[in-house]
Amino acid sequence: MKKTLFAAAIVSLFVIFGFQNSDPVFGSNENWADYLGGPDRNHYSHLTQINQENVKDLKIAWEYAMSDSGQIQANPLIIDGVLYGVTSSVQAFALDATTGKEIWRFGDPLKNWASTSRGVAFWQRGKDKRILYTVGPNLWALDASTGKPINSFGDQGKVDLHTGLPEIAKDKFLISNTPGTVFENLIFMPTRVSEDPDAAPGDIRAFDVVSGKLVWTFHTIPYPGEKGYETFPKNAYKNEGIGGVNNWAGMAVDKKRRILFVPTGSASYDFYGGNRHGKNLFSNCLLALEARTGKLLWHFQFVHHDLWDRDLPAPPNLITITKNGRKIDAVAQITKQGYVYVFDRISGQSLFPIKEIPVSASKLPGEKAWPTQPRPTLPLPFARQSNVLTEKDISPYAENRKELISLFKSYNKGWFDAPSREGNVIFPGYDGGGEWGGAAVDPKGVMYVNANEMAWIQIMKPVENTSGLPMGEKTYKTYCQSCHQPDLEGNTESGYPSLVNISSKYDKKAIINLINSGKGMMPGFGFVSKEEKDALTAFLFNEEKKEVANATQQLNQKAGVKFRMTGYNKFLDNRGLPAIAPPWGTLNAIDLNTGKQIWKIPFGDEPLLMKEGIYGTGTENYGGPVITATGLLIVAATKDANLRVFEAKTGKLLFKKPLPAAAFATPATYMVNGKQYIVIACGGTKLGTPKGNKYVAFAVD
C-alpha cells in the first residue's frame, strides 16, 4: 500500500510540475500548440465555428507584413491567444493572434537570409514557457513571453546541432528546417545534411529542453555490434564518403506509449551507391524508438539501397483505425513514390500486405542495385507511377509534343529502374507524390493528402576528370554544375537560378556566406576549403586567373563515387509546363480502414493555361491541408496563390480566395475570445511565383 501511495504521489508531482509537457495546453481544442496540429501530426482541429454553411463568408481578419520577403514554409503555433511563427529570413516572432500586432521578434535578417524554416516548437513547465527553433546549425531556446534567449540553455541560449556527432562531422553542413518534436523534457531534432559524399551522419538525437544537454543518440548508420551494421560496408559509420540517413521531415510521438516515430532519408551520395553496397539500414526507414532512451523497437525500410532520393518526405500520422471489427492504434507513412503504408503502432506489423517486387539490375560499373523493392497492395498509390505511362500521357498542351514523345521513348520508365546513362523518367518526381506538407487524418481514419505529379529526368554520367582546370572552374564543375548547368544558366523551372551576372546581385562576401550556409534547396558547402571558395567566387565573377591549380583530389574520387547525376531536371515542354499530361497536382481522400480511395480531384490551376481559358489541370503544390470537425478541408499550397476549402466527404469546393502571394505552407486554425481563425503564411517565391511577406488570418464576421 505504501509503495502504491508513493507511486501515486510521484505521478502527481510529474503532473503538477509539468513533466507531462503541459498536456492541458496541448490538449486545448482552441489552440494549435504543436507542429501540424499535434504530436500525432494529423493536421486536425476540433473547432466547429467555421462550418460548411458559413465558410463562404470568410474574410480577412488581419494581416502581418514583414520587412523581409521570400518563401515561408512555416506552420505557426497559436497558444492562449499568441501566435508564434518564423519569417522568410528565419526570425522568430510572437503576435497577438486576434489582431496580428507584433509582441516580439528575434533574429538577424542580415545573417540568416539563406535558410528556410517550417516553424517553432513549444514547451512549458509551470510558468517556464519556451519557444525552441533553429537558425542554421543552432537550436535556440527563447522565453515565450519576451523572445529573449534563455541563457541557462546550452551556450547562452543555443546548442550547436553538431553536438554528439563524430569529430569528422564537426564542420560539415547541418541545419534544421523542421520544428523539433517535444516529449516530456526532451526535444528530438530533425537535421538537414548534404546529399553529397561529404554529408554529415544523420544520427537521431534527443536534447534536454531545460539544459540543452545531449541525452541520447541513435546511430542511423550503425556502428560495429549494432543492428544493421552488416547492411553497409564495414567502415561506413566512420563517415568517410558516406553520410546522411537523417530525419529532416519531422517526427511524431505517441506520448501514452512513449514511442517516437522517425522517418529517415537516404544515404549519400544519393544517386550512386557503388561505395555503399547493401540494404543500407536505417536509410529510408520508419523507426519506432523508445522516446526516453532511443532504443530501437521496430523498423520498416521503404526503399532498399536508395538510388533515387526517395527519402521519406513528411512526419507519419498516428491514427486509430477499425479493421475486422477491431480498433487498432496505427501509424501511417506517406512516401514520395505516392504510397501510404499503415502499421500497427506497437508491433510494426503492416496492416495491409506488402510485396517485394523484382526491379532492374544496374548497368553502371561498380553499382549493385537491390534486386527487389517493397510495394503495398493497399492503399493503391495516390499518384501515377512511371511504369504505367505511355506516349498518350505526353501533355496535349505541349507545343513541341512530337519532340517530347521522341525523348520519352528514349528514357527508361520501369518501376524503380536503376539509374542509367541513357536516362530514367522519375515519376512521381523527386518532390513526390507526397511531400513535406504531409497528410491530414480525421478521427474516422480518413487521410487527406495532396500530391505532385511532375516527372523528372535522371541521367548519370561518369565523374568528370577536372585535373588541369583552374581551381574555380574545377570547384564549380565538382559542386555546382549539376544544378546550375555548365553554362551557369541554371534551371528556374526546377528551382535552380541562373548564376550568369551574379556579381550584379551579390558582392563576394554574400556569395561566400551563401556557399557556407546554403539557400532553399541548396545545401551549404562549408567543408570546401577557403582557397576553393575564393577561386569559385572569382570564377563566378569572371575574374579567375587561368593558371592550373594544385587542388586536392576530388571528393568523389576519395569517396569512390564513379558516377553522378547530371542535374535535377524536370521533364518540361518548351513553355516550361510539365511534359506529362495533367493532372499535375491532385487532392486525395483515402479510407485507411479499408485501404480504398474515396475521391480524387485535380488540385489547383496552372496560371499560364488559365490565361488561355484552361482550368482543372492541377499544379505542383507544397504545404499540407488541415481537416476540421465540421468536415472542412482547408489547404493552400498551389502556385496559383489561392486558399481553398473543400467538403471533406466529397471533395466539393466550398470556398476559394486569392492570397497576396502563393502560400507554400500548411495553415493553422485556432480560437480566441470565442472567434475561430484560419491563418496561412504567404511567401511565394517557389515555382517562380512572386515574392510575398505576409501572414494572413481569416474569420467569419
Arithmetic mean of pLDDT, 640-667: 98
Q: Residue 313 above 80 pLDDT? A: yes
For residue 470, what pLDDT band results from cuts at 50, 70 and 90? Answer: confident
Does 97 or 198 have the greater pLDDT score? 97
The answer for 518, left when phi > 0, alpha when psi is -120 to 50, beta otherwise, is left
For residue 9, what pLDDT band results from cuts at 50, 70 and 90? Answer: very low
For residue 505, what pLDDT band results from cuts at 50, 70 and 90? Answer: confident
* pTM for the full predicted model: 0.89
For residue 61, what pLDDT band results from cuts at 50, 70 and 90? Answer: very high
Radius of gyration from C-alpha coordinates of the chain: 24
What would the grid cell of residue 109 be?
535578417
Question: What DSSP element (H or E) covers 509?
Answer: helix 508-517
Q: Which residues contact 258 (CB under 8 A, 6 or more apart)?
A: 183, 290, 291, 292
pLDDT at 482: 66
Arithmetic mean of pLDDT, 467-494: 72
**pLDDT tens digit string along 101-116?**
999 999 986 665 557 8
pLDDT at 12: 39
Contact 521, 115 (CB under 8 A): no
The three-class DSSP label of residue 409 is helix
Question: What DSSP element (H or E) covers 656?
Answer: strand 653-658
Give, as one character, the DSSP assignment of residue 514.
H
Q: Residue 20 above 50 pLDDT? A: no
Contact 566, 461 (CB under 8 A): yes
Q: How many CA atoms lie within 13 A of 583 on its CB side?
A: 22
Beta bridge partners of 218: 204
Contact 173, 239 (CB under 8 A): no
Distances (CA, A) of 480 to 12, 113, 270, 510, 536: 57, 20, 16, 17, 10
Query: What residue type is assigned to position 698 of the chain?
Result: F
**pLDDT tens digit string along 418-442?**
999 999 999 999 999 999 999 999 9
For residue 547, what pLDDT band results from cuts at 50, 70 and 90? Answer: very low
Query: What residue type is assigned to position 512 of the chain?
Result: I
Q: Residue 557 above 80 pLDDT? A: no
Closest CA to 59 of 664, 683, 675: 675
Closest CA to 189 of 201, 175, 174, 206: 206
Domains and CATH numbers, the chain: 464-553 (1.10.760.10)
Q: Residue 486 above 90 pLDDT? A: no
Q: Residue 480 above 90 pLDDT? A: no
pLDDT at 23: 47
**pLDDT tens digit string along 253-283?**
999 999 999 999 999 999 999 999 999 999 9
**pLDDT tens digit string along 144-153?**
999 999 999 9
Query: What residue type is assigned to position 517 of the chain?
Result: S
Dist CA 467 CA 479 (whole Å):
15
Distances (CA, A) of 620 to 130, 188, 246, 275: 36, 30, 25, 34
Question: What DSSP element (H or E) covers 59?
Answer: strand 58-65
pLDDT at 558: 76
Give, as one character, the DSSP assignment of residue 266.
P
pLDDT at 643: 98
For residue 169, what pLDDT band results from cuts at 50, 70 and 90? Answer: very high
Q: Residue 229 class from Cβ within 10 Å (0-12 exposed, 13-18 middle, 19+ buried)?
A: middle
What would the grid cell of residue 521 be?
534547396
Q: Residue 22 above 80 pLDDT? A: no
For residue 549, what pLDDT band results from cuts at 50, 70 and 90? Answer: very low
Q: Residue 548 above 50 pLDDT? A: no
Least confident of 225-234, 333-342, 499-508, 520-529: 520-529
Arithmetic mean of pLDDT, 377-384: 98
Q: How many helices (H) and strands (E) does the chain have?
A: 10, 43
For residue 356, what pLDDT band results from cuts at 50, 70 and 90? Answer: very high
What would the grid cell of residue 642 be?
489561392
Dist CA 458 CA 430 (whole Å):
10
Contact 673, 445 (CB under 8 A): no
Arithmetic mean of pLDDT, 384-401: 97
pLDDT at 379: 98
Q: Residue 466 above 70 pLDDT? A: no
Dist CA 311 CA 536 (whole Å):
30
**601 Cα distance to chain centroid:** 23
What would the grid cell of residue 337 be?
513514390
What would the grid cell of residue 535 be?
577561386
DSSP secondary structure string, 447-485? EEEEEE---EEE-EEEPP--TTS-HHHHHHHHHTHHHH-
Does 334 or 14 have the greater pLDDT score? 334
Show the DSSP H helices in 601-641 as ranges: 607-610
Q: Residue 7 above 70 pLDDT? A: no
Q: Residue 297 above 90 pLDDT? A: yes
Least confident of 382-391, 516-525, 633-642: 516-525
- HEC assignment per residue over 12-42: HHHHHCCCCCCHHHHHCCCCECCHHHCCCCC
Query: Chain-wide mean pLDDT for the chain?
Result: 91
Torsion from C-alpha of 327, 331, 335, 340, nearest 10 degrees:
-10
